Amino acid sequence: MIISLSFCDGGIGRNRTNDTRIFSPLLYQLSYDAIRLGVQSYKKKMKQPNFYKYFCIFAKLFMTNLTIDIGNTLTKFAVFENDEMLIFQSVESLEAKHILEILKQFSLDGYIVSSVAKTPDFLHELLKDVRCIKFNYQTPIPIVNKYETPETLGLDRLALAVAAAKHAPQTDVLVISAGTCITYDFITSKNEYIGGAISPGLRMRARAMHEFTERLPLVDLPTEIGYCGVNSISAIQSGILKGVQDEIEAKITFFKKKNLAGRIFLTGGDQKYLVNSIKSRTFAVSNMVLIGLNEILQHNIRKS
């Protein structure tokens, strides 16, 4: 059973008016948007050192951040205000126009990039006036990384672990991400990332069968298929989809044997091919890497 979740605002429906009551009656009379616009304006214009010092403490409560995930096939980016995702976009290739459009709409406090490839040169030039959190295995994160070779751990997997720990605190978690590769990552109730597994993704399996054989065609993937293919194309499709589904169910069974109260998240661009066929209770979450990146960025800004 799959349960779809949205964690754009921390997974909880917020009453913005009620949220302001913790500050003062004056702020309560202001709308949330007015406060945000005031913060953005002061960040640009305020020059008085003493007042600026105290205002910066307040401004950290209203951080506007850009997170970028450059993957093997797509680049995804989002702008967050604290934990709320304001905009999201997925493109085949990140271009300068995408960043310029964001800068027209928002005054950013910081940005962070996770990339499996070289980061475009224009990115840091366009964002030179915005604080950059350089994300690598040495970047401070709000969980403990117990991977034996942290320098080899994919930053996207690390970001997934951070997002999982944020939204299921003090809980054992398995995160399954279906992308170019399928990754399985385990986070303990003690906020410790302990590792996982990597296997070929759906499209990688399809390409492998086509490229390493003489006659098998390259097939498209349906969202649903039976266990018994009635021709070569449906046989390949069934072998890929049902094979991955069985693999995922086996990982979940292994996880549940040791973590009865654990939580399981399913994410990644290819989750749509799996979401309706996995029998185990699983929470489907979109853009989990971006959510984790935002949490890492906020963690570092607040520590400064």
Residues 6+ apart with CB under 8 A from 95: none
Q: Is 291 exposed, middle or buried (0-12, 13-18, 19+ CB in 10 A)?
A: buried
Question: What does the alpha-carbon distance between residue 81 and residue 132 come to, in Å, rounded to a whole number?
Answer: 16
Structure tokens at 72: 């093997």
Which one of the listed residues 156, 172, 185, 270 is annotated catalytic?
156
Residue that has been written with the tokens 């005031």 in this structure:
38
Neighbouring CB atoms inside 10 A of 137's CB total 15
Rg (CA), the chain: 22
Residue that has been written with the tokens 């649903």 in this structure:
224
Neighbouring CB atoms inside 10 A of 230's CB total 9
Contact criterion met (CB below 8 Å) for 143 and 193: yes
83 included as an active-site residue: no
Measure the CA angle with vertex 40, ends 35 and 42; round to 5°. Answer: 95
Question: What does the alpha-carbon distance between residue 133 and residue 48 come to, in Å, rounded to a whole number?
Answer: 26
Task: Report CA dihedral (71, 76, 81, 86) to the nearest 10 degrees.
Answer: -160
Q: Do the bridges between strand 84-91 and strand 75-81 make them parallel or antiparallel, or are there none, so unpaired?
A: antiparallel
Contact criterion met (CB below 8 Å) for 184 and 200: no
As annotated, the active-site residues are: 156
